[in-house]
Chains A and B, each alone.
Chain A
Amino acid sequence: MANIAIGGAVPRRKLKSFVAGLPIIPALVLLILVACALFAPWIAPHDPLATDLTNALKPPAFVSGGVPDYLLGTDKVGRDILSRLIWGSRTSLSLALSVLVIGGVVGTVLGLISGYSAGKLDAVIQRISEGILSIPTILVALVFIFLLGQGFLSIIIVLSPFVIARFARMIRGEALALRTRPFVELARVAGASQTRIVIRHLLPNLVATIIVIATLEIGQLVLVEASLSFLGVGVPPPTPGWGLMISEGREYLTTKYWMSIFPGIAILATVMSFNLLGDRLTEVLDPGRDAS
């Protein structure tokens, strides 16, 4: 567990050492990603939904037959791939963040309750979490989205329990370890209420763990979302989604393979950057945990 000052958040020293050893490329990639997501309407050279059959299936600009106008080529109905990539970042990021926030908040609360009360309630929450985590994600997501109908909300509803369960388990473990620490005992003896102890004393020490889990979870969420949209149960077309783009590119794989390649590179770069960042964060904030 991190050697974080009692009741304090992340000390300045750690912040400095984090920034000092920051892996540049992942950070840059993520910056670009966030910029794309936020400023898509201004960055994207074309309207991602605008079809133009006369310009369909154009190769990327650096391959013969390509046009500088459509830097990465066009898809089968003439939509600019680059613009769809940029807008797709919105989809991926917003979905991932929504699920992360919901899952993270609810999961942390549950984990705190579970770890701090450590009684029957803990056992129940643990059982349920373990049960949820032993379920195959994509399979179940598939079935549930089928039952609930496709859409943004469905995905959030279906993916949240997994994130909640993961957060709950990790936070519970940390809370369990913390609650026997002297400063918690002190607070208890001094008469602080349960809620106060949890909020003022436990939570600040968990911030590090939460951040670390969040960075790693977000990457996985982007992957799952991409898988779902690849299978056709993600965000419904024509909203641009990276997984969907890969799927759409499949029928032209032998000749116009760029349609499937580029979105995949986007996914890979994004998730890898999140993972590298998360590893770096783990090193700085929580050296006890093995970041490999």
Chain B
Amino acid sequence: MIRYLGTRLLQAFASILGVATAVFFLARMTGDPIALLLPDSATTEMRDRLRAMLGLDKPLWQQYVDFLHNLVTFDFGTSLRTGRPVAEMLSQALPATAGLAAVSLIIIILFAIPLGILGAMHRGKLVDSFGRLIALLGQSLPSFWLGIVLILIFGVFLHWLPVAGSRYWTSYILPAVTIGLVPVAGIVRLTRSSMLEVMKADYLMMAAAKGVPRNRIVVKHALRNALIPVLTFTGLTLCYLLNGSVVVENVFAWPGLGRMILDSVTFRDFPTITGVVMTIAFVYSLVNFLVDVLYGLIDPRIRYR
């Protein structure tokens, strides 16, 4: 188990390092950042001064080391757009996005997993068709459009829910549902097919032959096995939620990472972009690592390999 976790941890570090390096070199590759930052009318003297100020006159490897050092100390510099320290902006945006993702995840799990299980157990009946319809919709709906439609229905026509910002607890509902629909689709499908696989298993028959009542067979034997792939998918889902937040935060004016990166991209605010990308890379790696840990705990075959 230790060895398994150790490898995973190493992989996590490697990927974060990889992303950092990629970001570093890509930025340098797209042209002189000084030219991006200053108007064309700037004099050479001004350029040189800015260059020195930003540390861009040092040798490349030195810049790389400085870059990494800054990352480790969470010093992302100052935003070109707002003038505030990027780290401070991140400390506000990250909880907003995380909160939204958490609410989404809860909704998804509470809704999708039972739907998938019931769909497998009552194959072909109403609940199964309903689950499959949801799955189809989740795969086919553009999330931003769904958000807009929900805003129309619940905000504009019915005036039931707030449609922008994160002030009230009800503000979480619409964006969470919007962002959550796509993963719901995936999880419903996965849970259903995983359950169906497991239901064919011999060990269920064996449990029945021992006299274990049906409900207990489902809960104790079938579910534990069926949920293993769903667990990994949940990890992926968290990552999807981060991804989808870019669009959904835009639609609902949610003050999170997604909106931050959109704003910084359109503004060419490089330090912020770096900050957000690295934060997201870190969160991803952390989540994947946690999923691996959980996976090792649940499936003993991994543990004792």
Check A-B contact in the complex, CB < 8 A. yes
A residues in contact (CB < 8 Å) with B: 131, 134, 136-139, 142-143, 146-148, 219-220, 223, 226-227, 230-233, 243, 246, 250, 253-254, 257, 260-261, 263-264, 267-268, 271-272, 275-276, 290, 292
Cβ B193 vs Cβ A219 within 8 A: no
Q: Mark B39-55, 1 if CB is under 8 A from A, else 0.
A: 00000000000000000
A146, A260, A263, A276 interface centre (most CB from chain B within 10 Å): A146
Question: In the assembled complex, which residues on chain A have CB atoms less than 8 Å from the CB atom of B141?
Answer: 268, 271
Docked Cα-Cα span, A52 to B262, in Å, equals 32
Contact among B140, B148, B250 with A219 in the assembled complex (CB-CB below 8 Å):
B140
- Nearest CB on B from A89, distance (A): 15
Please, how many residues of chain B have a CB less than 8 angstroms from a CB on the other chain?
43
Cβ A267 vs Cβ B273 within 8 A: no
Cβ B145 vs Cβ A139 within 8 A: no
- Nearest CB on A from B234, distance (A): 14
Complex interface: stretch among B83-91, B240-248, B292-300: B240-248
Cβ B265 vs Cβ A134 within 8 A: no
Docked Cα-Cα span, A233 to B136, in Å, equals 27
Question: In the assembled complex, which residues on chain A have CB atoms less than 8 Å from the CB atom of B148?
Answer: 246, 250, 253, 260, 264
- Nearest CB on B from A219, distance (A): 7
Cβ B277 vs Cβ A143 within 8 A: yes
B residues in contact (CB < 8 Å) with A: 15, 18, 26-27, 30, 132, 135-137, 139-145, 148-149, 151-152, 156, 189, 192-193, 196, 239-240, 242-244, 246-247, 250, 261-262, 265-266, 268, 273, 277, 280, 284, 288
Docked Cα-Cα span, A156 to B244, in Å, equals 20
Docked Cα-Cα span, A73 to B152, in Å, equals 18
Query: Helix, strand, loop or mixed for chain A's interface?
Result: helix
Question: In the assembled complex, which residues on chain B have CB atoms less than 8 Å from the CB atom of A142?
Answer: 246, 261-262, 265
Chain B minimum-CB-distance residue to A226: B142
Chain B minimum-CB-distance residue to A270: B140
- Nearest CB on B from A231, distance (A): 6
Chain A minimum-CB-distance residue to B197: A290
Cβ B142 vs Cβ A257 within 8 A: no
Contact among A253, A261, A290 with B193 in the assembled complex (CB-CB below 8 Å):
A290
Chain B minimum-CB-distance residue to A133: B236
Contacts A253-B152, A257-B152: A143 and B261 contacting too (C-beta < 8 A)? yes
Cβ A271 vs Cβ B140 within 8 A: yes
Chain B minimum-CB-distance residue to A246: B145
- Nearest CB on A from B160, distance (A): 15
Chain B minimum-CB-distance residue to A136: B243
Cβ A139 vs Cβ B280 within 8 A: yes
- 27 sample A-B contacts, Cβ–Cβ < 8 Å, listed by A number: A131-B18, A138-B244, A138-B247, A139-B280, A146-B266, A146-B268, A147-B27, A148-B30, A219-B139, A223-B142, A226-B142, A227-B144, A230-B247, A231-B246, A231-B262, A232-B266, A253-B156, A261-B152, A264-B149, A267-B145, A268-B141, A268-B142, A272-B137, A275-B139, A276-B136, A292-B132, A292-B193
- Nearest CB on A from B91, distance (A): 19
Question: In the assembled complex, which residues on chain A have CB atoms less than 8 Å from the CB atom of B132?
Answer: 292
Question: In the assembled complex, which residues on chain A have CB atoms less than 8 Å from the CB atom of B151?
Answer: 253
- Nearest CB on B from A256, distance (A): 11
Contact among A131, A139, A260, A264 with B243 in the assembled complex (CB-CB below 8 Å):
A139
Question: In the assembled complex, which residues on chain B have CB atoms less than 8 Å from the CB atom of A267?
Answer: 142, 145
Question: In the assembled complex, which residues on chain A have CB atoms less than 8 Å from the CB atom of B27?
Answer: 147
Cβ B243 vs Cβ A275 within 8 A: no
- Nearest CB on B from A268, distance (A): 6
Question: In the assembled complex, which residues on chain A have CB atoms less than 8 Å from the CB atom of B144?
Answer: 226-227, 230, 243, 246
Docked Cα-Cα span, A260 to B148, in Å, equals 8
- Nearest CB on B from A212, distance (A): 14
Known: A243-B142, A250-B148, A253-B148. 6 other contacts (CB 8 A): A134-B239, A139-B277, A143-B265, A223-B142, A264-B142, A271-B140
Docked Cα-Cα span, A257 to B273, in Å, equals 33
List of 7 A-B pairs having minimum Cβ-Cβ separation, nearest first: A264-B145, A136-B243, A272-B140, A271-B140, A146-B265, A290-B193, A147-B30
Chain A minimum-CB-distance residue to B241: A136
Question: In the assembled complex, which residues on chain B have CB atoms less than 8 Å from the CB atom of A257?
Answer: 152, 156
- Nearest CB on A from B142, distance (A): 5
Question: In the assembled complex, which residues on chain B have CB atoms less than 8 Å from the CB atom of A138?
Answer: 243-244, 246-247
Contacts A137-B243, A219-B139, A254-B156: A260 and B265 contacting too (C-beta < 8 A)? no
Cβ B142 vs Cβ A227 within 8 A: yes
